[in-house]
Amino acid sequence: MQYNFINNITSNGVKGSAILGIFSDLSVNSLSKSINATNLKKIKAAIKKSGFGGKINEKLCIYESVGSKFEKVYLIGLGDKKEYNEKKFIQAVKMFSKICKSELLENIYFDVNSFLSINIDKNWAIRNISIQVNGVDYLYNETKYKTKNKSNYQIKKINFLSFNANDSKKLKKYFLQGKAIANGIKHAKKLGDLPSNICTPTYLSKYATTLSKKSKKISVKVHSEKEMKAMGMNCLLSVGNGSKEPSKLITIKYNGSNKNDKPIVLVGKGITFDTGGISIKPSNAMDEMKYDMCGAASVIGTLSAVSELNLNMNVVGVIAAAENMPSGSATNPGDVVTTMSKQTVEILNTDAEGRLVLCDALTYIARFKPKHVIDIATLTGAVLVALGKVASGVLSNDDKLTQKLIASSKISHDYIWELPLWDEFQSELDSNFADIANIGKRYAGTITAACFLSRFTEDYSWAHLDIAGTAWNEGSDKGATGRPVSLLTHFILENAKSL
């Protein structure tokens, strides 16, 4: 996609479509920097004639009514200017991207100034517009499995209006940040949407390896089951016991700084399909359990974004990948296994398998001497009860890390909400037959799951993101969301040495 930052339209015969923001007061004064007076009058007349009210998410297309300047002009309602904020800006930009896709717009003039208000930063706005326009072309397009797919739609060129030449260099940086985030989200969406007979642990490992072919700063190591057994990862291996698909431990290193600089480590749950094992799930909507590797997909997507941005820092991604199936060789409820940390676990429920693969991965990553560790997992249905599909849950042993993540959540609008990790919950995991049980009692399932993980993270700063509610959409919009790639990339950007 080509992009330019320009002040206004000076030439006649422009081939393209204009996108303009209009508040509910219907004032067109903010458009005066990029649209001449004659065409402003035509736009104003078209608004009056149409009954367009400027409400949030309202749209109006004006055909051939602005002279030779544009092929079409699209007005997007922004609502009451006094109530306008970042959230409504993102709503408007999402509406813009929908218009582009439905109308197959290729050459666009986007009047950024008309979408801003006094409390919205222009750099932040460009990054978020970029995330949307660079992500609008995502389409599950595996022609091997869907033979009647449409071809991907792409925006060919976008011209950002209301900028002078001095703005261009700085704004280009924020546009490229948004592009990298969008590309990372597309990686995560693709992996999440693939069926489990394709996206196996082996496929995940091969996909991760492709990142190293795109950047000399990335190296990938894949540990086999034999190697994991030698390291004592019996808990991780127990999850894949019932499957013919071999489990994998995938390590992706991005070396963007001095090797002695402590890395940020991301750990992703990669259950490529979760039947529940012997504690088998109900059949209703079990097909959605192909999304149980979205934590792993978000790690790959974030490492892709970090690499594309060429950040001056070290980041490590670790993926614990397995397929959870019932069979004669599967782990049974009541079995006791020894983790890499030497703690023993009584597996009361084989459907609480995410924490079993993560606990060994969280022990393994201590060798990297991390600055911070964030694990990302579709871990509990209980988080849906608590937070629905709006926010991911966050639980942590480090208040400062939590606040950094919350700050990045507010910037990215990839929402998270903190749940307590209090000592009072730890006793829920007591076992008569091992050091710890893999499930708690009936209540506080998201918290007790995090309590389990906390037993393996005592030596470093750690946060857990439960994305079971946010990783995919249901119904007619069914598909992976790519969350929380945006949150994680914003967090890394905020903590990078050089932006």
Q: 353, 301 in Cβ contact below 8 A?
A: no
3-state secondary structure of 374: strand
Of 328, 374, 384, 377, give the one whose Cα is nearest residue 352. 377
* Segment 255-265 mean pLDDT: 94
Give the C-alpha separation, 229 to 240, whole Å.
12
Residue with tokens 């079990």: 286
Averaged pLDDT, 325-341: 98
401, 436, 438 from 334: Cα distances, Å: 36, 12, 10
Same domain for 198 and 147, yes or no, is no
Active site residue 281: yes
Residues 121 and 156 both lie in one domain: yes
Total number of domains constituting the chain: 2
Confirm whether 442 is a catalytic residue: no
- Percent pLDDT > 90 in the chain is 79
How far apart (Å, rounded) are the C-alpha atoms in residues 394 and 34? 44
User: What pLDDT band is residue 498 in, cutting at 50, 70 and 90?
Assistant: very low
Minimum mean pLDDT range among 142-156, 250-264, 285-299, 384-398: 142-156
Regarding whether 454 and 306 lie in a shared domain, the answer is yes
User: 138-142, 148-152, 285-289, 295-299 — which is least confidently predicted?
Assistant: 148-152
Asked if residue 184 and residue 155 are part of one domain, the reply reads no
Pairing of strands 462-466, 392-396: antiparallel
In a domain, 173, yes or no: no
Predicted local confidence at residue 144, as pLDDT: 65
Q: In this structure, is residue 169 part of a structural domain?
A: no
Q: Is residue 421 over pLDDT 70?
A: yes
- In degrees, to the nearest 5, what angle opens at C-alpha 355 toward C-alphas 396 and 391? 50
The single residue of 186, 253, 290, 355 carrying the catalytic annotation is: 355
Which one, of 466, 250, 472, 451, lies nearest residue 364 by Cα?
Answer: 250
Do residues 63 and 87 lie in contact, with contact meaning Cβ atoms separated by under 8 Å?
Answer: no
- Neighbouring C-beta atoms of residue 149, cutoff 10 Å: 12
Residue 245 lies in a domain: yes
Residue 428 CB neighbour total at 10 angstroms? 18
Within-domain flag for 23? yes
Tokens linked to 308:
């594309």
Check if the beta carbon of residue 275 is closer than 8 Å to that of residue 326.
yes
Separation of alpha carbons 380 and 378, rounded Å? 6
The 10s digit of each residue's pLDDT in 265-320 is: 999 999 999 999 999 999 998 999 999 999 999 999 999 999 999 999 999 999 99
Domain boundary among 112, 132, 163: 163
Domain endpoint, select from 163, 196, 219: 163
Mean pLDDT throughout 170-177? 93
| Same domain membership, residue 119 and residue 230 | no
Q: What is the pTM of this model?
A: 0.94
Residue 263, preceding peptide bond in cis (omega within 30° of 0): no
- The answer to which of 115-124, 146-155, 461-470 has the lowest mean pLDDT is 146-155
172 occurs within a structural domain: no
User: In sequence order, what DSSP letters do the residues of 24-36 get, joined into one string?
Assistant: TT---GGGTTTS-
Mean pLDDT computed over every residue of the chain: 92
Element (H, E) at 303: helix 294-309
**Amino acid identity, residue 60?**
L
- Cα gap 257→17, rounded to integer Å: 43
Q: 86 in a domain, yes or no?
A: yes
pLDDT number for residue 149: 62
Q: State in Å, rounded, how far the first CA of the chain is from the last one.
A: 22
Strand order in the sheet with 107-111: 2-5, 157-161, 107-111, 17-22, 72-77, 59-63
Q: Are residues 190 and 140 in the same domain?
A: no
pLDDT of residue 163: 73
- Output the CA–CA distances (angstroms, integers) from residue 98 to 82, 92, 111, 132, in the order listed: 25, 10, 17, 9
| Averaged pLDDT for residues 132-156 | 78
| CATH number, domain with residue 282 | 3.40.630.10
Residue 170 lies in a domain: no
Q: What gap in Å lies between CA 252 and CA 315, rounded to an integer?
A: 8
Q: Domain ends where: 128, 163, 198?
A: 163
Please report the pLDDT score of residue 146 as a whole number: 67
146 shares its domain with 267: no
Structure tokens at 314: 């070290």
252 and 193 in a common domain: yes
Mean pLDDT, to the nearest integer, of 22-45?
84
Q: Residue 65 — pLDDT band, cuts 50, 70, 90?
A: low
Rg (CA), the chain: 25
The verdict on 258 and 157 lying in the same domain is: no
Looking up residue 15, the CATH number of its domain turns out to be: 3.40.220.10
* pLDDT range class, residue 139, cuts 50, 70, 90: confident
pLDDT score for 499: 38
pLDDT for 188-230, tens place per residue? Answer: 999 999 999 999 999 999 999 999 999 999 999 999 999 999 9
Domain shared by 355 and 440, yes or no? yes
Does 208 share its domain with 293? yes
Q: Indicate which residue of 44, 172, 221, 281 is catalytic.
A: 281
* Cα separation, 83 vs 92, whole angstroms: 14
pLDDT at 410 exceeding the cut of 80 = yes
pLDDT grade for 333, boundaries at 50, 70 and 90: very high
Distance, in Å, from the CA atom of 419 to the CA atom of 463, rounded to the nearest integer, reads: 11
Residue 174 lies inside a defined structural domain of this protein = no
Domain containing 136 equals: 2-163
Asked whether residue 153 falls in the same domain as residue 192, the answer is no
State residue 448 phi and psi, 5-degree precision. -70, -30
Compute the distance between CA of residue 191 and CA of residue 213 in angstroms, rounded to an integer. 18
